[in-house]
Chain A
Amino acid sequence: MDEPRNPALPGVEAALGGATAPHDATSVLEAARLVLERDMTLALRRRGQLVQPLAFFAIVTMLFPLAISPELARLREVAAGVLWVAALLASLLALEFLFRDDAYDGTLEQYALSGQPLTGLMFAKTAAHWLLTGLPLALMAPLAALSLGAPSESLPGIVASVAVGTVALSLIGSIGAALTLGIRRSGVLLALLTLPLSLPVLIFGARASELAIHGESYVAPLELLAALAVLGITLAPLASAAAVRISLE
């Protein structure tokens, strides 16, 4: 086809040609995959930040048996609630870092100017956040549940509820994290913004876990959790992209 005139700048011709995109332009999916890969790589290089919410979750769920009673029958009554409050606060703990570093070093600015839909990139960032906090929390939940006296038959239900519920929590949280970007020491404000919106997740999540512990069907609350997660997937990236654009002004 047409050879570039200037070998030092390959592709210039295509880009200068006007409305047509260069033939090697990155698609939205590729860009989103790169954002995901970059966030995962970074998190694995800074393990301290990664471990913090998990350690918090483990400590809180371990303290309850000491404070209430070592009697498993009594612990079992509060297990679902304890588990879910700890999971909610742990996922909130990690939220502050979701966009903060990218805002400071100008990465968000480059994302906003990349010509890629910012909504897709925000979705990728939130997905990375869930893989790094929500999923590990779901995998740790069985240990915590057992130490709170939950029977082993209830574990699949508990893992499922935490896994699905944290998807919704990450997405709701991403809106709050994006809205508080311009504010220094935004932690408290972020919690105030995010917690009320997270309450449905807490209620249905705890209910699903409780039903699982009592050996009853937990499908109904789990479906409601899934509905919340789908709602979040549809709307939250749009909202956080808009909030990020405002923060760049």
Chain B
Amino acid sequence: MASMTTWRRSLEAVALPVGAVFVAFVIFGIFCALAGANPLAVYGSIYKAAFGSWSAWQNTLIRAAPLMLTALCTALPARLGLVIIGNEGALVMGGLAAVLTGLALGPSLPGGLVLVAMALASLVAGGLWIMLAGALRHYRGVNETISSLLLNYIAIALMNQLVQGPLRDPAFVSKPSSYEIVETAWLGTLPATRIHWGLIYGLVASALAYILIQRTTFGFAARTAGGNVRAARIAGLPVGKLTLAVCFLAGSCAGLAGMVEMAAVQKRLNESIVSSYGYAGILVAFVARHNPLATVLVSVLLGGILAAGGILQRSHNLPDATVLVFQGIVFLCVLYSDSLYGRLPIFQERSERPGSAVAAS
């Protein structure tokens, strides 16, 4: 009986999102037909550009890597009942801390050590940034959604101020930027690919987050507090400490994404770091229902959609906003499918159980 339940539940957990994506494809197909493109050919192109070859897979994974990390910034606090959307700000602060560390240490240390120091700095900076929102929430009752959103703007403004002033490299003329971090501290690519190490960071962080939330007493406490704060307090759980700790971990993940973006892609800090990885991470977290493992899959899906954006323009002459329309349809369908959990009879156990089963249990 129990195994039966698990089986139906698992099927539900797989079938609903898959069904939602399928429905999204149908709706998007109608949209494409209206825009004058052949939907089947468009589907074919999307598949080809996102998952059709090793090169396409690399494109998808490159785009997915930062999303895995930024998604955790929303997913972790959500388990505690907090809606944090400060991902972009934490990413910027992480990138800023990483660059400052990288520039300060410069060539004085071996590249590997500089990278470790940069990663630690970004973890701490991003973590403290989101912890600030958590602290405001816990000690002053400030809505964490609003405060974390506003912290994004502060972080971006601070970064802009620094790169236009004290950190600015006057020799780099294309836009106000910091000095470049030393080449020994650049984060390379995985062997035989063009995917940078950020992907591995993302996978490891997601796995750790999953274990932390689902398999430890800390995670259990966090989930309990997320379910009912008052009950958690009565049970003697340190809700304040939990809030701060979870927010710190969440911000650390986004901060690490900032460090990866600096060390692997941009090599110097400038406004290019503000490229919506944080906001996309919010989407990923919600679609993944805040499950750290599901965020990996959803990140890859979104990465694939983004990777397919180009071919829609180049081969089908669709407008550049098409990929956003597609993304929007997919996410709305998946979010709507969320409301169907436990409501489709096929995934439920029969309410009138056979007497023998009752007796057996």
Q: Do A and B come from one complex?
A: no
